[in-house]
Amino acid sequence: MTTNEQLFARAQAVIPGGVNSPVRAFRAVGGTPRFIARAEGQYIWDAEDKRYIDYIGSWGPMILGHGHPAVLEAVQKALLEGFSFGAPTEREIELAEAIIAQVPSIEQVRLVSSGTEAGMSTLRLARGVTGRSKIVKFEGCYHGHADALLVKAGSGLATFGHPTSAGVPAEVVQHTLVLEYNNVEQLEETFAAQGDEIACVMLEAIAGNMNFVRASVPFVTKLRELCTKHGALLVFDEVMTGFRVALGGAQSVYAKLIPGFEPDMTVFGKVIGGGMPLAAFGGKKDVMKQLAPLGPVYQAGTLSGNPVATACGLATLAEITKPGFYEALTAKTQKMVQGIAEAGREAGVPIVTDSEGGMFGFFFADTLPQNYTQVMATDKERFNRFFHGMLDHGVYLAPAMYEAGFVSAAHTDADLAATKAAALAALRG
């Protein structure tokens, strides 16, 4: 049998770092990445035929679990009809209609192939519509790897950021402001000084790229108020949260807490493609009509709205819009994090947890972090030991403490009980 280690050695010879997306390399936690051979329902099997309960779900898309029969059938049918046409199809309309039906802030969407592409195109559109250059993002939020978004905070308040990647010229990020998450005061000061130059503010409202951190209601309220006042577009990046934390995404969670709340634009990915390369961005018609071929903002894609990907996305959406789906998923996810918290209490290890819909986070800390600095201050060494302990016990968590986790509809009570038992063993081990 080929081992994970052998595959990793072979991969490193021909693929930089042996992986096609950096976090898969286990750099944060150390050790050998598991090479996945197959998946079914809530389980994945590695090259050594070891089975894991999967809490990554391809980093979010697999909300139904792997290989759901209705999704498989739809994809198989679509494959026989053709892989890609480079011409419009009815399924693209159906998927756009399905998204719009669930998200009241959106009147039109454009389909693309990755979250990065959707975020990047949204920025261009926001700049094109407003005629402004500056954009605001928050420390700890990830919006894909477009140049303008690979930025960390500058030294002073609301100074321009610095590139976080080599190959991103300083001039390219000179219009990107990076602010502290949940810092209302900084937001007010920034808008007071430069509000009329800001094209858009991009937010992960339930941030899944610094584990799991919620934007506070006062923060989102202020953000909405300032964007409206200054004519900047408020963009919700729901690549992770869209159709994951609730049918209407994170914005529906905030709309329940802030009457009338809506973002101006939304970025989607992951769940809407059900595991196929598919993402989207959308908003009101007067904004979206600025896109080519109607308007002056150019955006295009050979594989955009791919017929196999739209079939997969549509079949996934058909399942998750069935009555009771999110209630059941939410209950499972809550039970999963309760198990981790209880294991912590039983082992005498402080753990705090949070979840919304099918997305969760946990921290080795006494209180839930509110921003990136606080996330960074939680116990990384303990997380790394816990991660490997869980992996040894057949539970696959994200291999870095900065990542959210995902529960699928396929996880059972037995899986959740096994997860708690593994957690206790990992914490005591």
Ligand X SMILES: Cc1ncc(COP(=O)(O)O)c(C=O)c1O
Cβ closest to ligand X, residue 149 vs residue 343: 149
Helix (H, G, I), strand (E, B) or coil at 311: helix
Binding mask 32-71 for ligand X (x = CB under 6 A): ---------------------------x------------
Whole-angstrom Cα distance, residue 74 to residue 70?
6
For the question of residue 142 being annotated catalytic, the response is yes
Look up residue 332 and give its two tokens. 């499972």
Cβ closest to ligand X, residue 139 vs residue 237: 237
Q: Phi and psi of 6, rounded to 5°?
A: -65, -45
Closest of 160, 137, 139 to residue 372, by C-alpha:
139
Q: How far is the CB of 143 from ligand X (least distance, A)?
A: 5
Closest of 16, 20, 22, 19 to residue 4, by C-alpha:
19
Q: How far is the CB of 212 from ligand X (least distance, A)?
A: 12
Please tell me which residue in 137, 181, 264, 270 is annotated as part of the active site.
270
Please tell me which residue in 43, 142, 254, 372 is annotated as part of the active site.
142
What's 240's DSSP letter? Answer: T
Whole-angstrom Cα distance, residue 243 to residue 354?
18
269 binds ligand X (CB under 6 A): yes
Query: Residue 131: which region, alpha, beta or left (left: phi > 0; alpha: psi -120 to 50)?
Result: left
Chain residue whose CB lies nearest ligand X: 115
**Beta bridge partners of residue 328, listed in sequence order:** none
Whole-angstrom Cα distance, residue 48 to residue 412?
24
Q: How far is the CB of 359 from ligand X (least distance, A)?
A: 11
Binding mask 321-350 for ligand X (x = CB under 6 A): ------------------------------
Cβ closest to ligand X, residue 278 vs residue 423: 278
CA distances from 262 to 53, 342, 419 (A): 36, 37, 37
Candidates 100-108, 203-211, 228-236, 297-305 — which segment interacts with ligand X by CB under 6 A?
203-211
415 binds ligand X (CB under 6 A): no
CB contact burial 399-421 (16+ within 10 A = b; e otherwise): bbbbbbbbbbbbbeeebbebbbe
Binding mask 348-387 for ligand X (x = CB under 6 A): ----------------------------------------
Look up residue 98 and give its two tokens. 């399905």
Kindly provide the residue ranges of all beta strands, DSSP E only, lying in 210-284, ordered along the sequence: 213-214, 233-238, 265-268, 279-283
Q: How many helices (H) and strands (E) does the chain have?
A: 13, 18
Binding mask 205-224 for ligand X (x = CB under 6 A): ---xx---------------
Binding ligand X (rule: CB under 6 A), the pick from 116, 121, 176, 306 is 116
Q: How far is the CB of 202 from ligand X (least distance, A)?
A: 9
Please tell me which residue in 52, 55, 181, 237 is annotated as part of the active site.
237
Q: How far is the CB of 24 from ligand X (least distance, A)?
A: 12
Tell me whether the omega of the peptide bond preceding residue 293 falls within 30 degrees of 0, making it cis. Answer: yes
Candidates 85-93, 202-210, 350-358, 418-426 — which segment interacts with ligand X by CB under 6 A?
202-210
Q: What angle do CA 250, 253, 254 make, to 5 degrees?
A: 95
Candidates 12-20, 215-223, 234-242, 418-426 — which segment interacts with ligand X by CB under 6 A?
234-242
Cβ closest to ligand X, residue 44 vs residue 202: 202
Binding ligand X (rule: CB under 6 A), the pick from 206, 239, 276, 288 is 239
Helix (H, G, I), strand (E, B) or coil at 135: strand
Q: How far is the CB of 424 from ligand X (least distance, A)?
A: 30
Q: Are 281 and 249 in contact (CB under 8 A)?
A: no
Whole-angstrom Cα distance, residue 275 to residue 310?
11
Look up residue 156 and give its two tokens. 């002073």
130 to 149, contacts with ligand X by CB under 6 A? 142-144
Binding ligand X (rule: CB under 6 A), the pick from 105, 114, 355, 374 is 114
Please give the residue ranges that form the binding site for ligand X (CB under 6 A): 59, 114-116, 119, 142-144, 204, 208-209, 237, 239-240, 269, 279
Catalytic residues: 142, 237, 270
